[in-house]
Chains A and B, each alone.
Chain A
Amino acid sequence: MITAKQLTRKYGKGALEMVALKSVDLSIKNGEFIAIIGPSGAGKSTLLYQLSLLDEPTSGEIHFAGTETSRLNQAEKTELRLHKMGFVFQDYALLPELSALENVALPFLMQGMGRIDALQHAGNALQRVGLSDKADNLPSALSGGQQQRVSIARAIAHNPEVLFADEPTANLDSKNGKLVMDTFESLSKEGQTIVMVTHEEEYAAHARRTISLKDGSIVSDQ
């Protein structure tokens, strides 16, 4: 599904240049649950942002479902993220003025779905993460764990081909962290492709494939 070839990402110029990713080659297949691990500054998040088209590599190629993504303009990349990808961020990234239900419904609306249908689909997604009773709550009225589950509901509601998660448990206590990982595991069993960045090996163990990064290079892939 996703293939990265000689992926390099550099920041800064001249003496200040810093190489975050060094000629990374990677292939992700449908249905895989991948954990990207490594110490701080290893390039985990940078790799995730490249794969999810949130950032552009300095050099190298990314193919998504057969499409060479460097040929896409920003609007086409946005469209690709809307239809094919889901995102779970470390700090939940819910819009504060929208209720849980509305947050989840937003991508559906953007896809052109009618308001009533979008809200219905969003309700179903919230049910999957066990938060039907919190649908009308604003994010500020939810706990961290609940917010992250709403974020997961938003990410999976439109059945994306791949779910990207950037340190999804970093801000959660162990109980909520486990709840999130259980949800991911359940999604994975349903065939959902998941690419997750984490620095906690305990959570990485839930994944079926673990890629270790160090200083911008893959040091193990098993």
Chain B
Amino acid sequence: MRVGFFLAVRQIKRSSKGTTALIIFIMVLTFLNLVVVSGLLLGLISGSFVQFRESYSGEVIITPEEGRDYIENSPQLVSFLESHPEVDMISPRYGVGATIRGTLGSLPQNNERPNELSMRVTGIDVGREEHVTGFSRFVLFGEHLNADEEGYMLIGANLLKKYSSFADANIPGLDLLEDVDVGSRVRMSIPRRDGGEIRKEFIVKGIVKSKVDEISTRMFITDKELKRLLPVNKEQFQEIAVRTDYDYAPYLVNEVKNFMGNSRARVQTSDEAIPSFLRDIETTMGVLGNALSSIALVVATITIFIVIFINAVTKRKFIGIMKGIGISPGAIQFSYVLQALFYGIAGSIIGAVLTFGLLEPYFSANPINFPFSDGILVVTPLGALIRIGILIVVTVCAGYIPAKIIVRRNTLDAILGR
């Protein structure tokens, strides 16, 4: 091993600097292909998870149990959460299904559908919502609501023909409001259980847009106004978003469940509340990432194999001489394995520095703008370490095999160049 090390160090030190740099560059690209490509694919989905948490759910989201209208014992739960030392802030929200009519001045003609749609109206505490989700950043046009004002609403961009990305798709059943913009008057109708409805007119104060559907496909008014409009259960909330430490969220979920006792509600961490189709996409992206990584590994293997093979073939005579003067084949093979190891480690270190020092901060600051998320680079030190390990193992094998092929050849033939 000592002789192998002695030979390897000198061969690396005294070989062509340009060739060495080129090989290491290839290894860096391989590392980036291995880590960054799959990291970006996962990042598309992880970005949407982060946005779901940051923009809507908080770290913990409490919603009514399936088939229920509200979170039972909401006031007590709000008090519990407000006094909990690990909770930074909560945003309790009212919510109800409502119909919005966009054209108030005239009735629809025969065979003309009314300019209306049914969607969820959410009542928010403007101050708390700002603290939990930074809601004002979603106001794309117009202005945000003031805490105490009445008669104004924010409307999700995906509900309006003018702003929706699906407006030109002509999807059957997809209703969008026409001619509604900032300043328009709209009428909201909330059905009552007795078959009647509560009606109120609003002025659209702003258009909200986010890559999280829960914002872009809803209407928002102040919680005080919606509370007043609700026909029943005026003290019970439909959503409570809780801002706490991300790592503490699972513990808080358990504490809330214990506190709730027999009261019914669905308590979830933001990760648990992610829609299952996003989870499916995450799995698919993971598979795609692994497939691409596998191809990158194969490319790296072949590259190193060729590099070491050519290196060994061109030095076949010297390998023969070394065997001739008594250097063991094992020592010679080890020197080539060490060279391959050097290329693998150097490429991985530079790749890791680029990934963690440059690319990850860059994509965090400048996410890739995808329609459904802001794509970030997802790469953990452990994940990178595992990939470095795989890359190095593959590199060592790719270095060992060609060295063994060349070293095994007849000594005299090698010396004489036959």
Q: Which residues of A contact B (CB under 8 A)?
A: 49, 54-55, 74-75, 78-83, 85-87, 89, 93, 95-98, 102, 106-107, 109-110, 115, 138, 154-155
What is the interface of chain A mostly: helix, strand, loop, or mixed?
helix
A-B contact pairs, 7 of them (CB 8 A): A79-B328, A82-B326, A89-B415, A102-B6, A110-B3, A115-B2, A154-B325
- List 7 A-B pairs, minimum CB-CB distance, nearest first: A82-B326, A97-B14, A93-B321, A81-B326, A55-B412, A97-B10, A54-B412
What is the interface of chain B mostly: helix, strand, loop, or mixed?
helix
Query: Across the interface, which residues of B come within 8 angstroms of A85, CB to CB?
Result: 326
**Chain B CB within 10 Å — which of A55, A80, A86, A97 has the most?**
A97
CB-based nearest B residue for A75: B328
Not counting A98-B10, A107-B325, A110-B326, a sample of 4 additional A-B residue pairs whose C-beta atoms are within 8 angstroms of each other reads: A80-B326, A81-B325, A95-B7, A98-B7
**Chain A CB within 10 Å — which of B6, B321, B322, B325 has the most?**
B325
| Contact of B324 with A by CB under 8 A | yes
* Binary contact track B308-322/A, C-beta < 8 Å → 1, others 0: 000000000110011
Expressed in whole angstroms, the Cα–Cα distance for A202 and B5 within the complex equals 43
Interface residue tally of chain B, by bracket?
A: 20 to 34
CB-based nearest A residue for B2: A109
For the complex formed, measure the closest distance between the CB of A174 and the CB atoms of chain B, giving whole angstroms.
Answer: 26
**Chain A CB within 10 Å — which of B3, B13, B15, B331 has the most?**
B3
A93-B321, A93-B415, A138-B14 known; A109 vs B3 contact (CB < 8 Å): yes
A109-B3, A138-B14 known; A83 vs B412 contact (CB < 8 Å): no
| Contact of B369 with A by CB under 8 A | no
Expressed in whole angstroms, the Cα–Cα distance for A86 and B321 within the complex equals 12
* Binary contact track B13-31/A, C-beta < 8 Å → 1, others 0: 1110000000000000000
Interface residue from B3, B15, B411, B412 paired with A106 (Cβ < 8 Å): B3
A49-B412, A54-B412, A106-B3 known; A83 vs B326 contact (CB < 8 Å): yes
For the complex formed, measure the closest distance between the CB of B329 and the CB atoms of chain A, giving whole angstroms.
Answer: 8
Q: Is the CB of B324 within 8 A of A81?
A: yes
Q: Is the CB of A89 within 8 A of B321?
A: yes
Expressed in whole angstroms, the Cα–Cα distance for A102 and B6 within the complex equals 9
Query: Across the interface, which residues of B come within 8 angstroms of A86, CB to CB?
Result: 325
Query: Across the interface, which residues of B come within 8 angstroms of A155, CB to CB?
Result: 325
Interface residue from B7, B11, B13, B327 paired with A82 (Cβ < 8 Å): B327
Query: Across the interface, which residues of B come within 8 angstroms of A107, CB to CB?
Result: 325-327
Q: Is the CB of B326 within 8 A of A78?
A: yes
Q: Is the CB of A110 within 8 A of B331?
A: yes
Expressed in whole angstroms, the Cα–Cα distance for A60 and B126 within the complex equals 102
| Contact of B323 with A by CB under 8 A | yes
Expressed in whole angstroms, the Cα–Cα distance for A89 and B317 within the complex equals 12
For the complex formed, measure the closest distance between the CB of A150 and the CB atoms of chain B, giving whole angstroms.
Answer: 13
Query: Across the interface, which residues of B come within 8 angstroms of A98, CB to CB?
Result: 7, 10
Expressed in whole angstroms, the Cα–Cα distance for A79 and B3 within the complex equals 14
Query: Across the interface, which residues of B come within 8 angstroms of A74, CB to CB?
Result: 329
For the complex formed, measure the closest distance between the CB of B328 and the CB atoms of chain A, giving whole angstroms.
Answer: 6
* Binary contact track B323-362/A, C-beta < 8 Å → 1, others 0: 1111111010000000000000000000000000000000
Expressed in whole angstroms, the Cα–Cα distance for A83 and B328 within the complex equals 12
For the complex formed, measure the closest distance between the CB of B223 and the CB atoms of chain A, giving whole angstroms.
Answer: 77
Query: Across the interface, which residues of B come within 8 angstroms of A79, CB to CB?
Result: 326, 328
Query: Across the interface, which residues of B come within 8 angstroms of A87, CB to CB?
Result: 324-325
Query: Across the interface, which residues of A come within 8 angstroms of B323, CB to CB?
Result: 78
For the complex formed, measure the closest distance between the CB of B17 and the CB atoms of chain A, giving whole angstroms.
Answer: 13
CB-based nearest A residue for B323: A78
Expressed in whole angstroms, the Cα–Cα distance for A80 and B325 within the complex equals 10
A75-B328, A82-B326, A107-B326 known; A95 vs B2 contact (CB < 8 Å): no
Expressed in whole angstroms, the Cα–Cα distance for A83 and B6 within the complex equals 19
Q: Is the CB of A78 within 8 A of B415?
A: no
Q: Is the CB of A109 within 8 A of B325?
A: no
Query: Across the interface, which residues of B come within 8 angstroms of A78, CB to CB?
Result: 323, 326-329
For the complex formed, measure the closest distance between the CB of B302 and the CB atoms of chain A, giving whole angstroms.
Answer: 25
Q: Is the CB of A54 within 8 A of B14?
A: no
Query: Across the interface, which residues of B come within 8 angstroms of A109, CB to CB?
Result: 2-3, 6
Query: Across the interface, which residues of B come within 8 angstroms of A97, CB to CB?
Result: 7, 10-11, 13-15
